[in-house]
Amino acid sequence: MNSMIKKAVIPAAGLGTRFLPATKNTPKELLPIIDKPIILYVVEEAIKAGIEDIIFISGRGKHNIEDFFDISVELELHLKQKNQLDLLERIENVRNLANIISVRQKKALGLGHAVLCAKPVVGKEPFAVLLGDEISIAKDEQSNTALESLVEGYNKTEQSITSIMKVEKSEVSKYGIVALEKTEDESLFKITDVVEKPSLQNAPSQYALPGRYIFKPSVFQFLENLKPGKNNEIQLTDAMTLEAKKNGLLGATFDAKRFDAGDKLGYLMANIELGLQRPELHEGLKKFLIETVNKIN
C-alpha cells in the first residue's frame, strides 16, 4: 500500500492480568490464536498498510516478544536438517517482516505515557499506533483492515485520524468514547472531544476507540504536558482531545472484523473466526460448532 506512514508504535507493556495465570511468564501478546501469536496478526496488519518500522513499547518480562521476531539459530538449523522447508520458510518470513525496534517503558504510567516513550524513535513523522492485543481482520482479500482505512484517510487529509466503531450502551464504559460531527466526506467524522471510559450518562456518543490510530507528531507535545487523568494514568485520549481542539482529529469507521484478544471472550471468538478461515480446519471446526450449538439448550 502506498503510504506516508512508515512507523508504527505497538504498546505491549501491559501485565496481562485478565489472562492470569497464563500470562504469569508469557506476555499476553504471545498467546497463540491457532498457530500464530496475537502480536503477529497485529504486525501483519501494520505491514499490509505499508509500515516498515515497528516500535514495540515493552516492559519487564516482555523480551520474548523481541525474540519472537529475531533469528532462532538452533530451530532454523534443525528444520533445515530435517528438511522441513515449509516451516523454515514461515519462521524466516516472520523475522524478515519488518525492522523491529524496542523501547522500554520503565513504569506503567498509562497508554499515553507508553506512546510518549516512542518519541525519540518516531521523531517528526506522522505515525500509527496499534494496540497489541486488538486484532483487525479484513473481511476478504479486497477489503481494508482498520489501519488501511486510516492510512487512506490520512493520505487524503494529512490530519490525525482514529478508527471508531459503534458499541452497545452497556459497553461505553470500557472504551475511549468520542464526540463527533459529520463531514462532507461520508467516510470521515470530525472529532470534537474524547472521553476515557465514561459512564453511559457522561458518554458523548456510542462511538468508541478500538485501538487503531494515526497521529501527527504534534500529539507528543500534548502527551509531554499531560497530568494523570482517568484511573490516575497518562491517558492517550486526553492528548487526543487536545489534538482535536488545536489541530483537528478525524474519525473513520471500518469494515474489518475486530476482536479484543486481550479479553477472554474476544480471544475465544478470534480463535473460532480465524479457525473457520483456515481451509485445513474449516470443516472439522464447523461440524463441532454446529453439534455443540445444538446441544446448548
Chain residues in the site for ligand G1P (CB under 6 A) = 111, 131, 134, 175-176, 196, 208-211, 236-237, 260
Query: Please, what is the minimum distance in Å from the beta carbon of residue 250 to ligand G1P?
Result: 16
Burial status of residue 296 (CB atoms within 10 A of its CB: 0-12, 13-18, 19 or more) = exposed
CA distance 84 to 168: 47
Query: Please, what is the minimum distance in Å from the beta carbon of residue 260 to ligand G1P?
Result: 6
Report which secondary-structure segment, H or E, holds 90: helix 85-95
Query: Please, what is the minimum distance in Å from the beta carbon of residue 82 to ligand G1P?
Result: 41
Residue 106, amino acid: K
Query: Please, what is the minimum distance in Å from the beta carbon of residue 255 to ligand G1P?
Result: 18
Query: Please, what is the minimum distance in Å from the beta carbon of residue 133 to ligand G1P?
Result: 8
User: Is beta strand 36-37 parallel, antiparallel or unpaired with respect to 32-33?
Assistant: antiparallel
Query: Please, what is the minimum distance in Å from the beta carbon of residue 50 to ligand G1P?
Result: 23
Query: Closest residue to ligand G1P, Cβ-based?
Result: 176
Query: Please, what is the minimum distance in Å from the beta carbon of residue 176 to ligand G1P?
Result: 3
CA distance 166 to 270: 19
Q: Toward ligand G1P, which CB reaches closer, 42 or 208?
A: 208
Q: Toward ligand G1P, which CB reaches closer, 7 or 258?
A: 258
The x, y and z cell numbers of residue 256, run together, are 474489518
End-to-end, the C-alpha distance of the chain in Å comes to 47
Q: Toward ligand G1P, which CB reaches closer, 11 or 79?
A: 11
- Residue in the block written with cell 466503531: 165
- Of 172, 162, 187, give the one whose Cα is nearest residue 241: 162
Q: Toward ligand G1P, which CB reaches closer, 79 or 251?
A: 251
Render 19-83 in DSSP notation, one character per residue: GTTTTSSS-GGG-EETTEEHHHHHHHHHHHTT--EEEEEE-TT-HHHHHHTS--HHHHHHHHHTT
Q: Toward ligand G1P, which CB reaches closer, 37 or 176?
A: 176
Q: What angle do CA 188, 194, 198 make, to 5 degrees?
A: 125
Cβ–Cβ < 8 Å for 182, 155:
no
Q: Toward ligand G1P, which CB reaches closer, 7 or 28?
A: 28
Instruction: Compute the radius of gyration of the chain from its Cα atoms.
Output: 20
Q: Toward ligand G1P, which CB reaches closer, 65 or 114?
A: 114
Query: Please, what is the minimum distance in Å from the beta carbon of residue 177 to ligand G1P?
Result: 8
Q: Toward ligand G1P, which CB reaches closer, 55 or 79?
A: 55
